Amino acid sequence: MVELSVVVPLYNEKDNLHRLYQAVTDAVQGRIESYEIVGVNDGSTDGSAEWLDRMAEADSRLRVIHFERNCGQTAAIYAGIKQASGRYIALIDGDLQTDPNDIFTLMPYMKDYDFANGMRVRRQDTLVKRVSSRIGNGVRNKITGDKINDTGCPMKLFKREVASSYFLYEGFHRFLPTLARMNGYRVIEVPVSHREREFGVSKYGVWNRALVGLMDAIVIGWLRKRTIRYRIKGEERVDVHAAKH
């Protein structure tokens, strides 16, 4: 088992791939005992697959998973964390708007917590996107009963056992910290940096997923209310099982 797996879902990010690989490598080399980068190619059509394969041939620490077709961000994240072998698993996006160095902003919190969720400060997004994100987070928290300020932040770090507890459905990547808490794990939110996208375009619109996100939040809220918690007599540990299990 390696110490750290960096999982990156990728869709048509050919212009970013070399910069991404170099940025992650520079961030982790010499700062952790062992690592791997798990790139999940979500059915890209821009030639990303060939670039990823060539880079993986040159560095055995880069592992690449190719989907036969585009399956969406939840599927890419789920496949990546299930294939990852690290003691700790970091999630970042392929557009480099989050800084891979922030993995080590989150790492110290692994002593007392199981999941550290990044919270973007001084976001380099449009006003409409920032406002819609704030409203969306507020609505999700109201429905799910959680207190996450930036559930959409791509920068996340969690322990392997948290990844093993997940059983994700489409859209659930927006609720990873909430699901971790539902499964009995300790969650904290930590400020991280945010940068402008240099190449490519965002694959996700502001309004086109609003209704879907709302419906997903309702499902998560329902699951949270149906979570089973019990304590076996003579044991300190509280077992937590979501209804879906």
Domains of the chain, first to last: 4-241 (3.90.550.10)
Whole-structure pTM value: 0.82
Residue 106 in this model has a pLDDT that exceeds 90: yes
Q: Quote the pLDDT of residue 198.
A: 57
| Higher pLDDT, residue 96 or 162 | 162
What is the C-alpha separation between 73 and 8, in angstroms, rounded? Answer: 10
What is the C-alpha separation between 140 and 94, in angstroms, rounded? Answer: 25
Residue 65 in this model has a pLDDT that exceeds 60: yes
Residue 138 in this model has a pLDDT that exceeds 60: no
Q: Quote the pLDDT of residue 187.
A: 95
Q: What is the sign, positive or negative, of the torsion defined by CA atoms of 34, 77, 196, 141?
A: negative
Question: What's the average model confidence in pLDDT over 32-41?
Answer: 97
Question: What's the average model confidence in pLDDT over 168-173?
Answer: 90
What is the C-alpha separation between 101 and 140, in angstroms, rounded? Answer: 28
Classify residue 102 by its DSSP letter.
Answer: G
Report which residue type is found at 141. N
Q: Quote the pLDDT of residue 86.
A: 97
What is the C-alpha separation between 21 and 160, in angstroms, rounded? Answer: 23
Q: Quote the pLDDT of residue 145.
A: 61
pLDDT > 70 in the chain, percent: 78
Mean pLDDT of the chain: 84
Q: What is the CA radius of gyration of the chain?
A: 18
pLDDT tens digits, one per residue of 171-190: 889 889 999 988 999 999 99
How many CB atoms sit inside 10 A of residue 18's CB? Answer: 11
| Distance from chain centroid for Cα 235 | 33
Residue 44 in this model has a pLDDT that exceeds 70: yes
